[in-house]
Amino acid sequence: MNSRRDFIQKITAATIAFPFLKQAVAANKSFNKKPYDGPVLRVAIMGLGSYGTRVAEAMRDCTKAKLVGVISGTPSKITAWQTRYNIPEKNCYNYANFDSIKDNPDIDAVYIITPNGLHHDEAIRVAKAGKHVISEKPMALNAKEGQEMVDACKAANVKLLVGYRMHFEPHTLEVIRMRKAGEFGKILFFQGLSGFTIGDPNQWRLNKKLSGGGSLMDIGIYSINGSRYMTGEDPIWVTAEETKNDPVKFKEGVDETIQFQLGFPGGSVASCLSTYSMNNLDRFFLNGTRGFAEMQPATGYGPIMGRTNKGEINQPVVTHQTVQMEEMSAIILQGKQPIVPVDGEEALKDLKIIDAIYEAAKTGKKVKLNL
């Protein structure tokens, strides 16, 4: 298993049964049931790897967003995508010349799906070209880079959104609704488990320059972000401890396993695990004075499954990336406000937490947060 995306795909595929497939088909049909004649977000994807392909395939079912361009350093991929997605030659760019996208009125936004270490420079170039920026998560390698991306997009008067697909997922939103309605009472505790056994030691995810770290930057960010939308608060302190059993595979600056704890202003605490050395870890648990919510799988591509003290969570199974791109189109073109933010400021908070976790793991001290 070579990546988080392989992990997410395999662990969730094992949960799919025929009823879920029927539900997914029905959900996607109902999602696009009404004819749409509003504005369409025209998107170019930068980075034509496995996840870029997943997004492109999901966008086939979008009505508010359309794939119209590509940016890649591999000419053969560009050619293949041109044929597969009917992309005109004038909307195809490489990493050296994509600044000229500023002169292309047929592209509104660029979705950056490249290694973490490239997001910062690519996003700033896209912003300077006058196009809206959608970045995969984590948005950058650290909070300093993230702030520079936010500032660049503001200066260029373009939107900066981040690929937090779970913020639009129906089971997740149902737990958030129940929590907001007070159905769990006062929130006391959150647990987030995010991990898998990573494969190829030469991949970019184990290259600090490209990844910014290890498991925390790749899979652990799900528990970080999940702790915030599940509890409804931003943490005010963090403690952390790193465990490294394979220093050959996980070199200096590339974390293998990190356990971290978060404290929230309302008094609740979170206990989370991020790892590249254990499988079967994709679980969220939220506990309050009046009830609980458990999600497992919690962040996979689907179907997400969950239950509360009131029973199973029965929400539509959707293609996350389809819904994400539909909703992002509405945010960019129609000013829609999502239930959980997906903008650069939201992503910057996660980067500040990541910085603090690494500091806490290094120093052994509790680190205060001011988000």
Query: From the centroid of its chain, how far is CA 233?
Result: 19
Match 């070209």 to its residue by tokens.
129
Sheet holding 311-312, edge to edge: 311-312, 306-308, 292-295, 277-288, 187-197, 269-275, 257-263, 237-243, 367-368
How do beta strands 269-275 and 277-288 pair?
Answer: unpaired
Question: Cα 103–129–332 angle (5° rounding)?
Answer: 100
Provide the angle, in degrees to the nearest 10, between the axes of the packed helices 116-128 and 143-155: 20
Taking the C-alpha atoms of residue 321 and residue 166, their distance in angstroms, rounded to an integer, is 9
SS3 367: strand
**Per-residue tokens: 317:** 């199974």
Residue 220: left if φ>0, alpha if ψ -120 to 50, beta else—which one? alpha
40 sits in the region (left: phi over 0; alpha: psi -120 to 50; else beta) called beta
For residue 136, the 8-state DSSP code is P
Nearest partner of 161 among 214, 224, 108, 94, judged by Cα: 108
State the catalytic residues.
Answer: 137, 222
Phi-psi region of 180 (alpha: psi -120 to 50; beta: other; left: phi over 0): alpha
List Cβ neighbours of 288 (8 Å cut-off, separation of 6 or more). Answer: 179, 184, 185, 186, 187, 188
Helices (H), 167-289: 170-180, 208-211, 215, 221-231
* CA dist list (Å): 329 to 58, 87, 108, 326: 14, 19, 10, 5
